[in-house]
Amino acid sequence: MSSDSTSQSLTIASELTAARQVEQYLMTSLRERSCPQDILFAVRLALEEALSNAIKHGNGLDPSKTVTVKFSVGPDKLQIAIADQGDGFNPLAVPDPTTDDHLEQPNGRGIMLMRAYMDEVAYNSRGNEVRMVKCIRPSSSKQAG
């Protein structure tokens, strides 16, 4: 994380209401930097998906476990790291939700959306922490509609 970035670390309970507060906090920070609407949409979507995965699948909604959210807002990019206290998983083992076999499944689209809307998405080797990067200049190559 660069030295001219605004960096923060938050630890929240394994509750979706706490995730919503983190999301609102980060969105406010990005709006203050006049981020374009498509960037706000993309970051919010990826953050929602990652936090939901950490709380529900990582920590299993266990109230004794927490989720740590670190983010850094620099002049041209946003970095987010979300870690849960679960056993982790292999993201490469998650099936492609767009295949005919999985299209009617109600779940399994979150990681795909994170990858589609962020510029970088990477998991640690244990699979309980995801790091995401989004270029936040208007000239970003990925547009969110």
Partner 1 sequence: MELSVDRQSDITIITVTGSVDSIDSDALRIFLDDIIVAGRTRLVIDLIAMDFIVSMALGVFVQTFTRLRAADGFLRLAAPQPAILRVIKTTALDRLLPIYDSLAQALE
CB of 7 to partner 1, least distance (A): 25
Sign, CA dihedral 16-67-65-84, equals positive
- Please say whether the dihedral angle defined by the alpha carbons of residues 126, 52, 86 and 5, taken in this order, is positive or negative: positive
Amino acid at 5: S
> Residue 95: how many CB atoms within 10 A of its CB?
10
Query: Which of these ranges, 2-10, 45-53, 63-71, 82-90, lies near partner 1 under the rule CB under 8 A?
Result: 45-53
Q: Is residue 49 part of the contact set for partner 1 (CB under 8 A)? A: yes
Asked whether position 119 contacts partner 1 by CB under 8 A, the answer is: no
- DSSP state letter for 14: S
Binding residues for partner 1 (CB under 8 A)? 16-17, 19-20, 23, 38, 41, 44-45, 48-49, 51-52, 97-98, 103-107, 109-110, 112-113, 116-117, 144-145
